[in-house]
Structure 1
Amino acid sequence: MEKKWWHDKVAYQIYPKSFCDTNGDGIGDLRGIINKLDYLKELGIDILWLSPIYASPFVDEGYDISDYYKIAPEFGTMEDFDELLEETKKRGMYLIMDLVVNHCSDKHEWFQKALAEPDGKYADYFYFVKGKNGNPPSNYRSYFGGSAWEPIPGTDKYYLHMFAKEQPDLNWENPTVKQKIYDMVNWWLNKGVAGFRIDAIINIKKDTAFPSFPPDGNDGLAAVSKMIDEVSGVGELLEELKEHTFAKQDAFTVAEVFNMKEDELREFVGESGHFSTMFDFSAECVAGNRTWLDTSPVDFHALRNAVFASQLKCQDICFLANIIENHDEPRGASRFLPDYAQNEAGVKMLATVNLLLRGIPFLYQGQEIGMRNCPMGSIEDYDDIGTKNQYTAALADGVSAEDALNACFHKSRDNARTPMQWCSSVNSGFTSGKPWLKVNPNYTEINVAEQTGRADSVLNYYRRLIALHKSDRWKEVFTEGRFAPAYQDQPSVFAYYRKVGDTCVLVAANFGVDSVTLPLIAPAEELLLKNMEAVKSIGTNLLLPSCSSAVIAF
């Protein structure tokens, strides 16, 4: 596989609204990110991905964009952005933006003009479709619940919104729309951004006949994703996007893709694929493919099998982007670790097996200190539109408020969006004002300041782990090395080899309650990293206590 500039990099997602507030309005800002660049550099980060900072009404926290060329005033100014870009480059870092082009905000100028003239040219920027017998054109349920069709006042038409009704879908069959999107993407690339994380991109291809499907719920609706699963031709749109934008400047692109067909992997992210890489959601799918109310622990064997299968499938085709958590998922420490492992040792163990997989590691803000899900007192404490809709639907189905709120604690996207925990002072040092979202009450114990000064902290372990991944001696094996599962007969062990040439490294972790002794393939040449002192390499045996991990070179 041809080596790319980004193959050996480590990336970090910033959720700007919750990262660092410098003006006391309770909302994080670009100035706050600038102030923390040295912290991120010391952590070992190369690529920063910013969740949307464009002008927006924030119905879906910035994923409803009203102007692609403006910075939301809540975050600062374009001058602030230019300074941020300059400062990242000074530190040898790269900045990528969030690209949201399946839909825009209903406050966008295009949509406002479309509403004003439902039969005019701007209506064709979206999907304005006649209803059937006084009903919507089809029975699609949006990703956020309820009909994916919204009536257009004064007409017999509806517009399509696969997400919230305030997020009308853009019509990618319209050449003018596509060109305007290309122009915008190139404008940001010419500004100096290194690339994009690309949101919900698989959804841009629609079956414009908009067929209905058999209902899959009590509401008589069918998931809109069914239409996406059935339609073909998205690859042509994606290749056009690449050719007109990304390919011109060797941009790094990481796609959010859930509905890709089985045989499309090489087309999407192979050497000549539409994108540089895409997120590996195999673990998220194991955890997420359950009902909202199912809060049982994630099955370890299903998790291990899914990750191993993904690694093996992809290693001759592409580099994936590996994640534990992001802005759309609960905290990994609360999600993937059993109760007895939800401690510092367990968090380090989870980090070890994830960060050394084949692919480019993506950290999410707060992951490096082991931030957890946040208990909320009531549904009013939540901000996320999806969480509120799920809670309301649960109550309508007869679920108690207590059980519905418990599900929110385990599943809500807001678990990842609570403010970054910088120190033990008021509001965790995130803001001097009132934070836009509740700060996790555990901030007095889990915060950057406390962990910076403690050698055995989660933060300092992440620093050592990233340094190992990027070190001159071991970078090649952790970047280019092949992946091979190990010790699959051990029911509580998550282990694999990374191999390149004569170099072989074992990454092993014990997710179980009891200690495990693993027979090694040879005496260890060097114990590169361990998450607790009790881990021992003795002769050709490796002793792994509960919740421990080790990285061994042979």
Structure 2
Amino acid sequence: MRKEWWQEKVAYQIYPKSFKDTKGNGIGDIRGIIEKLDYLKSLGIDIIWISPCFLSPLADQGYDIADYYKIDPRFGSNEDMEELLAEAKKRDMHILLDLVVNHCSDEHEWFQKAVADPKGPYADYFFFEEGIDGKEPNNWRSYFGGSVWEKVPGTENTYYLHLFHKKQPDLNWENPKLREEIYKMINWWLDKGVSGFRIDAILNIKKVFPLQGHHYPADREDGMAACTNMIYEAEGIGEFLREMRDRCFRPHNAFSVGEVFNETEEQIPEFIGEDGYFSSMFDFRAHSSGHSDKGWFDNKPVTPNAYRDNCYLTQRLVNPVGFISTVIENHDESRGVNSYIPAEDLSDTSKKFIATMQMMQRGLPFIYQGQEIGMENVIFHDISEVDDISTLDEYKIALENGYSKEEALKIVNRYSRDNARTPMQWTGGKEAGFTTGKPWLPVNPNYTRINVESQEKDPASVLAYYKALCALRKQEEYKEAVVYGDFIPFLEKEDRFMAFYRKGEKKTLLVLGNYRKEEREVEIPGTIKKVVLSNVEPRINGNTVKLSGYEALILEVE
């Protein structure tokens, strides 16, 4: 595999609205990111992905972009962004922006012009279709519930397509003029000094034609079918992705990471192989394994063995081909420690355990803001406390399926995207040091117990452990094994146990993880040369290792 500039790095995702507010208006901003660059550097971060901060009405928290060239005044200015790029460069850090080009906002100039003239050239930047017998053109259900079709304002029977929110009209990638506009914008930001992009919802850009009358079998009582059916049927997306890569990413040696779900084994080389469309893609396999198409009410918890088995499967499929990006959480998911650690086992020790399992896999690790201090899900006491449109839809679906309000609230509490969007917990002081005003989303009440300030003073903290994991990735002695070494499972079928070798050319590491409260004894083949890192005091007698509950132990072995 060809070595690239980004492979030895550690990446960090910032949700700007919730990271750090410097204006006192309760909304995080770019100057807050600049203020915390040294903190991120001390953590060991090299690449920072910033979720959308462009001009937006925030119908979907910035994933509805009204102007791709303008920073939203809520977050700052274009000058602030240029300063952030310059300050990051001084620290040898890289900035990634979020590339949202399956759709834009209905307040974007293109859509406004399309609505003003539904038969004009800008209408072909979108998907305008006539209804059938007074109904929508087809029966697809949007990601956020309801039809994917909304009437074009001022028309009797013309609809526009929106796979997401009705304020997020889908862009027509079949139109070469639209693609040229997108490539121009991407290159404009790359020329400004952005190092690359995280690419949002990209599999949706290829549609199935004709759209009108293209129904799928209904999968709920609403008579509609999930729009994701289209992804499985559509063919030819590679033509668009190759063109974007060749016109934008390759000339700039830019990093690109795709948000790709449910990829087949055959598609992996196409996405991230030697000649892949992207540099990398996220590993959502474990997260998706508990997902139900019926709704969150039918989701299943991801068991310890399921987490392990899905990680192993990804590693087996990806490692001969390319570089995966590992995650345990992001802005679209609940907190990783709540997703992958049974509630009764949650502790600093188990948080360090799951950190080890993520960070020691082969790939580029992405840490989401607050993950490094073990931030947890929040508890919503009433649905009125929820901001996220996806959560509100899932609450409604749970009610429609016979759950009480109390039961529905409990369901969405577990899976709400707002769990990851509560403000970053910097201190134990007022509003967790996030703002001097009223935060846009309430701070998790546990901020007095879980915050950066207290953990920076504690050498045994979750934060200190993440720093050690980041440092290990860059340590000259072990870097080659941790970054590029083979991933080989060890005692693969042992119940609630996750262990694997990272075998480099000169060094071999063995990562042991006891995924339960009870201790267990493990016999290690070969010679144990050194304890590299552990989340508890290790107990080793010759080749016998006694692992405490949720102990994660990294050994150098022969």
TM-score range for the pair, normalised by the shorter chain length: over 0.9
Alignment of 1:265-284 (within 5 A): 265-284=268-287
Cα shift at 1:378: 1.1
Alignment of 1:153-172 (within 5 A): 153=153, 154-172=155-173
- Counterpart of 2:166 in structure 1: which amino acid? K
Give 2:453's aligned residue: 449
CA distance in 2, matches of 1:187, 1:297: 43
Comparing 292-301 and 425-434, the one that deviates more: 292-301
Q: Percent identity?
A: 50
Give 2:376's aligned residue: 372
| 2:554 pairs with 1:551 | yes
Cα shift at 1:502: 4.0
- Counterpart of 2:210 in structure 1: which amino acid? A
Cα shift at 1:538: 1.7
Comparing 269-278 and 153-162, the one that deviates more: 153-162
Give 1:96's aligned residue: 96
The answer to whether the 8 A contact 2:85-2:95 is kept is: yes
Q: Deviations over 1:338-367 (max 9, x none)?
A: 123211000000000110100000000000
Q: Against the structure 1 CA distance between its residues 259 and 350, is the aligned structure 2 distance closer, same or farther, given a 3 Å change threshold?
A: closer
Give 1:494's aligned residue: 498
Cα shift at 1:231: 0.9
CA distance in 1, matches of 2:94, 2:430: 32
Cα shift at 1:213: 0.7
The answer to whether the 8 A contact 2:335-2:420 is kept is: yes
Alignment of 1:474-489 (within 5 A): 474-489=478-493
Give 2:439's aligned residue: 435
CA distance in 2, matches of 1:489, 1:272: 35
The answer to whether the 8 A contact 2:305-2:497 is kept is: no
CA distance in 2, matches of 1:11, 1:175: 33
Match of 1:288 among 286, 291, 296: 291
Match of 1:302 among 291, 299, 306: 306
Cα shift at 1:396: 2.9
Q: Deviations over 1:4-60 (max 9, x none)?
A: 111111000000000000010000000100000000000000000000010000000
The answer to whether the 8 A contact 1:530-1:550 is kept is: yes
Alignment of 1:332-351 (within 5 A): 332-351=336-355
Give 1:67's aligned residue: 67
CA distance in 1, matches of 2:104, 2:209: 19
| SS across alignment from 2:135 | coil
Q: Against the structure 1 CA distance between its residues 169 and 279, is the aligned structure 2 distance closer, same or farther, given a 3 Å change threshold?
A: same
Cα shift at 1:297: 3.5
Match of 2:249 among 246, 249, 270: 246
Give 2:217's aligned residue: 214
| SS across alignment from 1:52 | coil
CA distance in 1, matches of 2:400, 2:540: 56
Cα shift at 1:225: 0.6
Give 1:113's aligned residue: 113
Comparing 408-417 and 488-497, the one that deviates more: 488-497
Comparing 259-268 and 303-312, the one that deviates more: 259-268
CA distance in 2, matches of 1:156, 1:484: 58
Give 1:528's aligned residue: 532
Give 1:197's aligned residue: 198
Give 2:227's aligned residue: 224
CA distance in 1, matches of 2:397, 2:493: 42
CA distance in 2, matches of 1:367, 1:353: 14
- Counterpart of 1:196 in structure 2: which amino acid? F
- Counterpart of 1:527 in structure 2: which amino acid? V
Give 2:395's aligned residue: 391
- Counterpart of 2:302 in structure 1: which amino acid? V
The answer to whether the 8 A contact 2:480-2:505 is kept is: no
Cα shift at 1:287: 3.1
Cα shift at 1:390: 1.1
Cα shift at 1:296: 5.4
Cα shift at 1:492: 1.5
CA distance in 2, matches of 1:95, 1:79: 15
The answer to whether the 8 A contact 1:349-1:548 is kept is: yes
- Counterpart of 1:389 in structure 2: which amino acid? D
| 2:458 pairs with 1:458 | no
CA distance in 2, matches of 1:171, 1:388: 28
The answer to whether the 8 A contact 2:114-2:122 is kept is: yes
- Counterpart of 1:202 in structure 2: which amino acid? L
| SS across alignment from 1:172 | coil
Cα shift at 1:261: 3.9
Give 2:149's aligned residue: 149
| SS across alignment from 1:263 | helix
CA distance in 2, matches of 1:266, 1:360: 17
Give 1:43's aligned residue: 43
Cα shift at 1:522: 1.9
Cα shift at 1:147: 0.5
| SS across alignment from 1:348 | helix
CA distance in 2, matches of 1:298, 1:516: 22
Cα shift at 1:294: 4.3
CA distance in 2, matches of 1:113, 1:397: 41
* TM-score of the aligned structures, taking structure 1 as reference length: 0.98
| SS across alignment from 1:185 | helix
Q: Deviations over 1:289-326 (max 9, x none)?
A: 47412465322222211110110111110000000100
The answer to whether the 8 A contact 1:202-1:259 is kept is: no
Comparing 269-278 and 495-504, the one that deviates more: 495-504
CA distance in 2, matches of 1:280, 1:100: 19
The answer to whether the 8 A contact 1:370-1:458 is kept is: yes
CA distance in 2, matches of 1:64, 1:242: 23
Cα shift at 1:183: 0.2
Aligned residues: 553
- Counterpart of 2:171 in structure 1: which amino acid? L
